[in-house]
Amino acid sequence: MRRAIGNARARLSSKIAYRAIPFALLLLALAVLFYFSVEVGEGDTLAWDQAFLLALRHADDVALPLGPAWITTTMVNFTSLGGVAVLLFITLATIGLLLVSRRPVEALFLCVALAGGWLSSNTLKLWAARPRPDVVTHLAAVGDASFPSGHAMVSAATYLALAIVASRFLSAPAQKAYIFMVAGTLICTIGVSRIYLGVHYPTDVLFGWCAGSLWTFACWLTFRRFFRHRSDGDAFR
């Protein structure tokens, strides 16, 4: 009897820890992001940010990026994949497919990931009000604040959410790993393009990557919590 009670307590403790650890990590990540944003707001990272941008340009002409012209063209093409119009089109097209396939939970998940990432990015921009880099010439049109990078943050939130949804239709671990690898590569390339084009500081992009991924991770945890035991075949795991 005592052994049975002990085993039950052990299982309960393991279950609580299994559920609590992700949320504890989420809170820790939020604390780190808050500290990071304070450091940026106080200008403690400005010298490093500017030095990094200048290292990507010719010393005698900061309007010319390092490398051949095709790299700049490639970066412009990749940066467009993180624009709101492109992300909105891809997300709405996928949501439509999910609705036609009678997968409303995944459709709602994508909607929340994109909308929340975009709203959070714009709110943080208004709060930080960090000017765009002025030590190099911008190679892409910009019109809002610099921190965080909206392209980095919203693309991280959206493409990661798309990878999560796509992985739910796959069974082999290698297939799922490939989907996330492709999404991660695309997210990283979009962020790097913003730095290379001189429209964002590296810390803008780093924060955007972390914040966007964190937002989607929080959405995933929430949907797992509330849609895990559905009986209509649309459980969210």
Tell me the three state secondary structure of residue 61: strand
> 3-state class of 62 per DSSP?
strand
Residue listed under structure tokens 């780093």: 206
For 8-156, strand residue ranges (E) read 57-58, 61-65
Taking only the tens of pLDDT, the chain with its 237 residues reads 555 455 545 454 545 544 566 667 667 777 777 777 777 777 778 889 999 999 999 989 888 999 899 999 999 999 999 999 999 999 999 999 999 999 999 999 999 999 999 999 999 899 888 899 999 999 998 888 888 999 999 999 999 999 999 998 888 889 999 999 999 999 999 999 999 999 999 999 999 998 999 899 889 988 887 776 554 556 666
Query: 28-32 contacts: CB < 8 A, separation 24 or more?
Result: 29/210, 29/214, 30/214, 32/210
172 neighbors 116 (Cβ within 8 angstroms) = no
Burial category of 59 from C-beta neighbours within 10 Å (exposed 0-12, middle 13-18, buried 19 and up): exposed
